[in-house]
Amino acid sequence: MKNSRACLLIATCLMAACSTSAQQSAQQQSKPDRTPPAVQAGAGPTPTKMPAGTNINSDAKLMADFKAKVDDYLKLRKSVEGQAAAVKKTDDPQQLITAEKALAANVRAARANAKRGDFFTPATQALFRRLMNPAVKGPEGPENKGAIQEDLPAPKDVPFQVNADYPRKEAVSTVPPDVLRALPQLPPGIQYRFVGRHLILYDSKANMIIDFMLNAIPPVSSKE
């Protein structure tokens, strides 16, 4: 009798244990899995989002800064143009030269502290060389270098000095369209010009060198 009761008690305990285990298993299966899909798949933690504004295009910023400096230069030149006597419409070259020299003198005085690299900073120079490289080294390179070589002044004949007059007796070089398209667009009266393999920023109205960069392109003639 005692054995029968003992067996009945053991059986009851086993049935209760099985029931509890089944309930726990069912509850676990019913809970949603909140583990990120990437972790479930063994791909590691979900990538962190980069803060907004971290993918700045440095080339575009350099070009925008360069154009802003050119715009500031034009504002400065315009501010001093009224200081010189107005020149009436004339075909007399001497009067035109006199007006040009007066404008250059006023601009030079207004930017007396200008120095090499104000426009062509080291970073801008590196960018410009890279932008011009396809035009002078690519398939159209020989044709473009040939165009540059036409009327190309030698470096010894042009002063590499900020605010200097461009020698009146020297021709100004051709700048191929492929090169112009690669560089920031300039307003009327401000030009890119080559002197040998070097590049100058030239004010044609004041006949003045605004800034310059050396070794802008590979040599375009055997004399360089």
73-106 tens-digit pLDDT: 999 999 998 776 655 666 788 888 999 999 999 9
25-54 tens-digit pLDDT: 444 444 444 444 443 334 444 444 444 433
Q: Note the pTM of the prediction, 2 decimals.
A: 0.72
In percent, how much of the chain has pLDDT > 90? Answer: 64
174-204 tens-digit pLDDT: 999 999 999 999 999 999 999 999 999 999 9
Tokens describing residue 165: 């007059």
14 has a pLDDT exceeding 90: no
pLDDT grade for 224, boundaries at 50, 70 and 90: low
SS3 202: strand
Query: What value does the mean pLDDT take over residues 201-218?
Result: 97
151 has a pLDDT exceeding 60: yes
Q: What is the pLDDT of residue 166?
A: 98
Q: Which amino acid is at 109?
A: A
* Contacts for 196-204: CB closer than 8 Å, 24+ residues apart: 196/152, 196/153, 196/154, 196/155, 196/220, 196/221, 196/224, 197/224, 198/155, 198/160, 199/120, 199/128, 200/158, 200/160, 200/166, 201/70, 201/119, 201/120, 202/166, 202/172, 203/73, 203/77, 203/107
